Amino acid sequence: MLLSKKNFRFLFLISLLIAFLGVFRLGFWVGESTVVCKICPPEEIDFSLFWESWDKLQEKFVSPENFNTQNMIYGAISGMVKSLGDPYTIFFSPQDTKTFLEDVSGRFEGVGMEIGIRKGQLQVIAPLEGTPAKRAGLRAGDKILKIDDVLTGDLTIEEAVALIRGPRGTEVSLTIFRKESEAPKEIKVKRAVIEIPSLKWELKENIAYIKLYHFSEKASSDFTEASIEILESPAQKIILDLRDNPGGYLEVAQYIAGWFLERGQTVVIEDFDDRQDQIIYKTEGNAKLLDYPIVVLINQGSASASEILASALRDNRSIKIIGEESYGKGSVQELENLRDGSSLKITVADWLTPKGNRITNEGLDPDIKVEMTEEDYEQERDPQLDKAIETIREIR
């Protein structure tokens, strides 16, 4: 997930639908010219089929006691949003909005993984470091077929999140399929309080190995502290590991890029598909790590801000990327608050790399491809990191 600047879209239609429902029994017009609704429909939009269905349900539905007007409103809005075919444009009820904001804050109760929908299939983007999902053995790219006894085929991301999350100490069963397996397998995960770490770093001979877990609010200050330590250390080269990093805040990725790139270089381009001019985000940092040779590690769990940072380093400095193709989450979402505490998360733009390549559904191809096998995981081997060390040693 990646948050960015405000850019209004679709709120008109949502507010329109709510206004319609509120005035349905009173009628739309008083006399010939007095408007009752606060937001009136454009002439080209015909909601008569919607109201005809609403009336038929009220007239004939076998269990009128099940009628809940508010839930029907939410359902109608959710259906409208889902018809757009974008898994990242979502309607949140007031409770769902509260849950979403807790997730963004970086502390919540659940299993600790980022999930998404790719090619119509719910899957793990990345298990987060130090969480139950990571300890249970879930991996980037695992397809989630069932959550407990619920098939995931028709679930939205938020519906799946609601099923997976829960109070600490409780358990959720995930039926997953991974490409190396012959059959699906069930993994049980005990929920806990999730606090997402931002990074760690260590010295490997003369190489500073930085593992960046998440572009959280805290990551900027943590990266500053780590960079100062690296500058004062014997490190002469850097490996930046963005594997299983599902993203976070654009501003944090932009800030970190400023340590590696000259001031004023392009980090990413926000493209609005001809609705407005592109916005170009540039580095504003101190470039104190500019002279360090560097390689970057990515995998299927590298998404969003990870892809932005990796592509910025490659496009501007020809830095080599090692590992597997990244996830391909390159769209921009905004949260629009609605009148009753509900909200809309709306995709408003796409991210382009500094050279103008689209990230959404494409991902980044590594310059040096190294895949992890089932045996590598079982034996706790890391051929991707081994290749990164080998490659960085050859750079003078």
Per-residue pLDDT, 168: 92
Q: How many CB atoms lie within 10 A of CB 391?
A: 16
Indicate whether 2 belongs to any domain.
Answer: no
- Do 142 and 274 fall within a single domain? no
Structure-block tokens of residue 154: 């028709």
Tell me the C-alpha to C-alpha distance, in Å, between residue 357 and each of 45, 162, 309. 36, 34, 14
49 by DSSP, 3-state: which? helix
Domain match, 174 and 287 both: no
Domain assignment present for 340:
no
> 319 and 277, same structural domain?
yes
pLDDT at 393: 95
Same domain, 132 and 258: no
> Do residues 300 and 241 share a domain?
yes
Measured between alpha carbons, how far is 357 from 294 in angstroms, rounded to an integer? 22
Of the residues 198, 216, 304, 311, only one is catalytic, namely 304
**Residue 365 is a catalytic residue:** no
221 and 270 within one domain = yes
Distance CA 357, CA 126 (A): 23
| Residues 254 and 321 grouped into a single domain | yes
Choice among 142, 222, 244, 315 that is catalytic: 315
The CATH number covering residue 186 comes to: 2.30.42.10
pLDDT at res. 43: 73
CB neighbour list of residue 31: distance below 8 Å, 6 or more residues apart:
none
- Would you mind telling me the total number of residues written for the chain in this entry? 396
**Whole-structure pTM value:** 0.77
Residues 258 and 382 in one domain: yes
Rounded Cα distance between 28 and 106, Å, is 45
CB-based contact 132:113 (threshold 8 Å): no
Q: Which of 195, 214, 238 is the last residue of a domain?
A: 195
Element (H, E) at 14: helix 11-23
pLDDT of the residue at 26: 35
Q: What is the DSSP letter of 3?
A: B
182 domain residue, yes or no: yes
Answer with the one of 93, 128, 151 that is the final residue of a domain.
Answer: 93
Q: Is residue 134 part of a domain?
A: yes
* β-pair partners for 321: 296
* Domain membership of residue 314 as a residue range: 199-333+348-394
Which residue in 329, 331, 343, 387 is the catalytic one?
Answer: 329
Q: Print the SS3 string covering 213-247.
A: CCECCCHHHHHHHHHHHHHCCCCCEEEEECCCCCC
For tokens 């009752």, name the residue. 36
Check: CB of residue 306 under 8 Å from CB of residue 326.
yes
| Residue 59 resides in a domain | yes
- pLDDT score for 106: 56
Active site residue 148: no
In a domain, residue 339? The reply is: no
Kindly state the tokens that stand for 15. Answer: 């507010």
311 and 370 in a common domain: yes
Do 135 and 251 belong together in one domain?
no
Residue type at position 326: S
Average pLDDT, the chain: 87
Per-residue pLDDT of the chain (396 residues; tens, 9 = 90+): 555 444 434 333 334 344 444 433 333 333 444 445 566 767 778 888 888 998 999 888 988 888 888 889 999 999 999 899 888 899 999 988 887 776 665 567 889 998 989 888 999 999 988 899 999 999 999 999 999 999 999 888 888 988 998 899 999 999 999 987 889 999 999 999 888 789 999 999 999 999 999 998 889 999 999 999 999 999 999 999 999 999 988 999 999 999 999 999 999 999 998 788 999 999 998 999 999 999 999 999 999 999 999 999 999 999 999 999 999 998 888 889 998 999 999 999 999 999 999 998 889 999 999 999 888 988 889 999 999 999 999 998
Are 146 and 54 contained in the same domain? no
Q: Is 5 a catalytic residue?
A: no
pLDDT tens digit sequence for 6-22: 443 433 333 434 444 44
Does residue 64 lie in a domain region? yes
Give a yes or no: residue 100 inside a domain.
no
| Same domain flag for 143 and 284 | no
